[in-house]
Structure 1
Amino acid sequence: MKRFLVTLLALGCIAVLIVGNKHWKEKTFVAAEKGKQEIPLEVEEPQVDPESFLKLTANWPAQAKENYQLALEENRPFTILIAGSTDALGSDETAWSTIVKKELEQTYGETVQVIVKSYDLTSKQFKDKDKLEELIAEKPDVTLLEPFTLMDNGNVMISESHQTIEEIMTGLAEEKPEHVLLLQPPNPLYQANYYPVQVDALQKYADEEKIPYLNHWTAWPNPDKKEIQAYLTKDSQSITPSEKGHQAWAEFVLDYFIAD
């Protein structure tokens, strides 16, 4: 009987040890799993591939490419400023400037920021009101300027218009010496007379000063043909782009800034 009790006691001890060990393991496992859940997971930030972005700048002036590459290396946004008259740039969601801003920032991501500044002024008024300071304050790396050419029509002499361009270029370069200026005309008009002379003079000035000139008129129908009327608003003057005109203008600018 005594031997039986001893045996029974031994078996009981073994059972307690087995159950206790199992409980300890389960408790340890639960604690470990809980600990895993409490450790915050490190989320990898998307990596910027400089080469893939640099390939997109194939059409840019050499200095602009260098500026962009430096911005990538310094991990700061590259600022593109679009400036000019309100009639030319537009102001709603269908405006070419809005389309270009959205597409560039989507394509280049956080490596690029696009700022649009428009003014309902002639070039002389722009200068007299010291609006240049607003452009300088943006500290752009590249500026795409429509130099108020159509607004100047009949109001400002061509030579004075060009002088304002010179002052804009100088002012922006004083703030950022490596700044790059790009020029472009406003939209074409249907069967205009003196206006094409102004635009030709603008392109000649750009060539003489070695300023890159984005001649988006090549994306529009012949200004002397009726087909261009669909690209202009249907008001009494028809001097601003229609939605179709803004789209043609936007596609030209995007083809320049985003190489295939």
Structure 2
Amino acid sequence: MRYGRVIVPIVFLGCIVVLITSYSIWKSKIEMVKGETNNSQTEQRTLIEEDKEKTELESPKVAPTISRETIEQAIVNADEPVQEIVLNRFDAGEQVQMLIVGSTAMDDGSPGYAKLLTDELANTYGSFLETSVASFDGTSKNFIEEKMDEIDWTKAYDLVLYEPFTLNNNGKVKIEDEHKHIQVLEEKMLAEVSDAVLVLQPSYPIYEAAFYLVQIEALEKYAKGKAYPFINHWSSWPSTSDENLTTFLTEDNSPNEEGAKLWASSLINYFTAK
């Protein structure tokens, strides 16, 4: 009986010791796990911050190169739809993508009007507006069937300045068909950018034009009827009945250097107010 009385307290004390020891070991493991977790999280945060700093160094943020006020002043001569889309893109912090498309006459003059215009757009808008150029030597029918799908429409053009090949169409494409081709181009443009704006301009004038004048008048009337922005650069050229017009054209009736400058001046004034 005495042994039993002695053993019971000893066993009881042993159990307490075991419990205390187990608790201490468990607590130590918990602290160790917490420490490892905190270290892991700290290391992850450090790596994330280092990667962020590395990314910022490799791809620095581009500061705005133009103010809204400057844009408003530059587009004051443009039609309202053009002004709206340019300002909307600026307010959204987006770049404007512009496409100039038309006949190879845009390259005549060394440099041609397309080069003169794109240079002035870059000087005015900087990186805010990016310009692409697509010229084609053929009719509007040829363009729609052969060239239009070769344009990189994935660039999502917000503005398209289009010369609908009216001079090349002379005697080859009906006026009504030329207008249908404009609609086809617009549909392609809007399929990529739902609020894109199509701006029309006529081909250049030639001396003693005949039926060509009827085509140009029909184009302007069509543009007004469909509410397309229309740049009538013919007002900057001498009349088609004025022999002075030939001083702006080559012997082949293409724009020469002075003709290209004259043509470009109207477009530059429209898009940049210069």
Q: For this structure pair, what is the TM-score category when the shorter chain's length is used for normalisation?
A: 0.7 to 0.9
Unpaired runs of at least 5, structure 1: 1-43
User: Could you list the per-position Cα deviations for residues 31-56 of structure 1 after superposition, in whole angstroms to 9, with x for gaps in the alignment?
Assistant: xxxxxxxxxxxxx9576422222221
State the shift of 1:179 in Å. 0.5
Report the AA paired with residue 85 of structure 1. Answer: S
Q: Which residue of structure 1 lines up, in the alignment, with residue 67 of structure 2?
A: 49
Identity of aligned residues (%): 32
- On the 8 A contact 2:109/2:257 being kept in 1, the answer is no
Report the AA paired with residue 114 of structure 1. Answer: T
Higher Rg:
2
Q: Which residue of structure 1 lines up, in the alignment, with residue 157 of structure 2?
A: 140
State the shift of 1:222 in Å. 1.2
Q: Which residue of structure 2 lines up, in the alignment, with residue 250 of structure 1?
A: 264
Secondary structure at 2:151's aligned position in 1?
Answer: helix
Q: Distance in 2 between matches of 1:82 and 1:51?
A: 25
User: Could you list the per-position Cα deviations for residues 32-81 of structure 1 after superposition, in whole angstroms to 9, with x for gaps in the alignment?
Assistant: xxxxxxxxxxxx95764222222211122333223222322343321121
2:90 corresponds to 1:72: yes
2:118 corresponds to 1:90: no
Q: Distance in 2 between matches of 1:74 and 1:187?
A: 36
How large is the Cα RMSD of the aligned pairs?
Answer: 2.2
- On the 8 A contact 1:64/1:141 being kept in 2, the answer is no
Q: Distance in 2 between matches of 1:132 and 1:89?
A: 20
CA separation of 1:258 and 1:123: change in aligned 2, threshold 3 A: same
State the shift of 1:167 in Å. 0.7
CA separation of 1:47 and 1:249: change in aligned 2, threshold 3 A: closer
2:113 corresponds to 1:110: no
- On the 8 A contact 1:57/1:257 being kept in 2, the answer is yes
Stretches of 4+ moved more than 6 A in 1? none
Write the mapping of 1:100-249 to structure 2, written as runs, cut at 5 A: 100-129=117-146, 131-132=148-149, 134=151, 136-234=153-251, 238-249=252-263
Q: Distance in 2 between matches of 1:45 and 1:131?
A: 35
User: Could you list the per-position Cα deviations for residues 151-189 of structure 1 after superposition, in whole angstroms to 9, with x for gaps in the alignment?
Assistant: 111111111111000111121012111101111111100
- TM-score (normalised: structure 2): 0.73
Q: Distance in 2 between matches of 1:130 and 1:103?
A: 27
Question: Which of the pair is proportionally richer in helix?
Answer: 2
Q: Distance in 1 between matches of 2:241 and 2:151?
A: 37
Secondary structure at 1:131's aligned position in 2?
Answer: helix
- On the 8 A contact 1:189/1:239 being kept in 2, the answer is yes
- TM-score (normalised: structure 1): 0.77
- On the 8 A contact 2:110/2:257 being kept in 1, the answer is no
Q: Distance in 2 between matches of 1:135 and 1:189?
A: 32
Secondary structure at 1:211's aligned position in 2?
Answer: coil
Report the AA paired with residue 127 of structure 1. Answer: I
- Once the two structures are overlaid, the 10-residue window that deviates more, 247-256 or 47-56, is 47-56
Unpaired runs of at least 5, structure 2: 1-61
Count how many residue pairs are aligned between Structure 1 and Structure 2. 215
State the shift of 1:259 in Å. 2.1
State the shift of 1:130 in Å. 5.3
